[in-house]
Amino acid sequence: MAVKQDLKLRLAEPVLGEKELEYVSDCVRSSWISSKGRYIEKFENGFSRFCGAKHGIATSSGTAALHLAFAAIGVGPGDEVIVPSFTMVASANAVAYTGAKPIFVDSEVATWNLDAAKVEKLITSKTRAIQVVHIYGHPADMDPLLEIASKHDLYLVEDACEAHGAEYKGRRVGSIGRLGCFSFYANKIITTGEGGMVVTDDSTLSERCASLRNLSFDVERRFVHDVLGFNYRMTNLQAAVGCAQLERIDEFIERRIQNAKWYNSMLSGVKGIVTPPETSWAKNVYWMYSILVERDYPLTRNQLIQRLASRGIESRVMFNPMHKQKIYRLGNKDADFPVANMLGERGMNLPSGNGLTREQVGSVAESISAV
């Protein structure tokens, strides 16, 4: 599918300001530019507090945060972790990195998140954890998953990489399961360029994550390593950007929600376009404003993406389900994932960045409604 390169409206550009420059300059002047420095602890404390969790462990990426979480709870070869098929590949990869096997589950239509009603039948003696992904900023229904995890003595790990500040029944995601994982990639609600964080209330898991993140150095015997660790450290430079972004996180969340309100209003009457969900118990932060292009719309999903590109507007298909990926397809049947298949075939993401204006939303909406 050919897409024009001279795009004028990107999918999700970061909004950076003078504070980011000030804090990064402070790092450079102090010479603390690597994985030590005051901004790392400040960012960890500030973001974990924002989430409602006691501990934060900053990492080099959201993928690293997920891998770190599974390593910290001891997931390894021979284990299984239940993962939604409709997600970004990093969710499944983080499980596979440990040597464990991701077991995929379909989504449900109401929120596009994993279907809790289908989880329990997938649990075996090998199951160690359930990974819930709060897709595109909408929380998953956590109560049934918490009940299942408790009943079967499983860890519940939240992939909240797309859901900074989203709420489930008044609780911020990431603080509901045993561990929550976030990404600070450039298109996220707040960014450090690359980066991530694990948050948890569990002091033991927090200490384990912090050790594994830093190559598992023995505390008392430097350069002695009894456990296989990783170099997943965040730099002070990245954390400095994160601290500046964190000062504006409430503003950025409100901007995403306002973007969604504009889109909803402008697209509500367009036949064949399904706008994103928000259930009564959820606060959706709309990391991406995602729509479904139904068969009664005049264009296919891919044709609409091309139409927008021809007008200088970047858009993107939604995730291709994991059970369809060559690296994970073995043993999975399309018939078991009707909702994930539908989302992957009909879904697309519209421009959703923090700097989006009403006029820009109007331009996108007009390009869709005028077909």
In a domain? residue 1: no
CA-CA distances (angstroms) from residue 331 to 107, 178, 335? 18, 29, 12
Domain range for 339 = 249-369
In a domain? residue 9: no
- The yes-or-no verdict on residue 6 having pLDDT over 80 is no
Whether residue 242 is found in the same domain as residue 255: no
Whether residue 112 is found in the same domain as residue 44: yes
In a domain? residue 157: yes
CB 175 within 8 A of CB 229: no
Q: How far apart are CA 330 and CA 333, in angstroms?
A: 9
pLDDT tens track for 133-142:
999 999 999 9
Would you say how long the chain is, in residues? Answer: 371
- Strands 289-293 vs 347-350: parallel, antiparallel or unpaired: antiparallel
Q: Which pair of structure tokens corresponds to residue 244?
A: 């500046």
In a domain? residue 13: no
- The yes-or-no verdict on residue 188 having pLDDT over 80 is yes
Please name the residues in contact with 120: beta carbons below 8 A apart, sequence gap of 6 or more: 148, 152
In a domain? residue 4: no
Whether residue 96 is found in the same domain as residue 156: yes
pLDDT tens track for 38-86:
999 999 999 999 999 999 999 999 999 999 999 999 999 999 999 999 9
Whether residue 187 is found in the same domain as residue 268: no
- The yes-or-no verdict on residue 283 having pLDDT over 50 is yes
pLDDT at 324: 96
- The yes-or-no verdict on residue 203 having pLDDT over 90 is yes
pLDDT at 104: 98
In a domain? residue 142: yes
Domain boundary among 228, 246, 264: 246
Whether residue 177 is found in the same domain as residue 221: yes
For 223, counting Cβ atoms within 10 Å of its Cβ (0-12 exposed, 13-18 middle, 19+ buried), the class is: exposed
Q: How far apart are CA 135 and CA 106, in angstroms?
A: 13
Provide the whole-model pTM: 0.96
Instruction: Please state the domain count of the chain.
Output: 2
Closest residue by Cα to residue 144 from 102, 113, 167, 186? 113
Q: What is the CATH number of the domain that holds 173?
A: 3.40.640.10
Domain boundary among 246, 261, 284: 246
Read off the pLDDT of each residue in 147-166 and give the average, rounded to a whole number: 98
Q: How far apart are CA 90 and CA 93, in angstroms?
A: 5
In a domain? residue 5: no
- The yes-or-no verdict on residue 3 having pLDDT over 90 is no
Percent with pLDDT over 70 in the chain:
98
Q: Where are the beta strands (DSSP E) in the chain?
A: 55-59, 80-84, 101-105, 127-133, 155-159, 167-168, 171-172, 179-183, 196-200, 273-274, 282-283, 289-293, 316-317, 347-350
Question: What is the average pLDDT value for the chain, to the nearest integer?
Answer: 96
pLDDT at 4: 45
Percent with pLDDT over 90 in the chain:
94
Whether residue 200 is found in the same domain as residue 254: no
- The yes-or-no verdict on residue 345 having pLDDT over 50 is yes
Q: What is the CATH number of the domain that holds 262?
A: 3.90.1150.10
For 298, counting Cβ atoms within 10 Å of its Cβ (0-12 exposed, 13-18 middle, 19+ buried), the class is: exposed
pLDDT tens track for 288-339:
999 999 999 999 999 999 999 999 999 999 999 999 999 998 888 889 999 9
Q: Which residues of 315-338 are buried (b: 16+ CB within 10 A; e: fewer)?
A: bbebbbbbbbeeebeeebeeeebe
- The yes-or-no verdict on residue 222 having pLDDT over 90 is no
For 105, counting Cβ atoms within 10 Å of its Cβ (0-12 exposed, 13-18 middle, 19+ buried), the class is: buried
In a domain? residue 10: no
CB 124 within 8 A of CB 154: no
Domain boundary among 246, 268, 283: 246
Whether residue 73 is found in the same domain as residue 194: yes
Whether residue 253 is found in the same domain as residue 240: no
- The yes-or-no verdict on residue 24 having pLDDT over 50 is yes
- The yes-or-no verdict on residue 1 having pLDDT over 50 is no
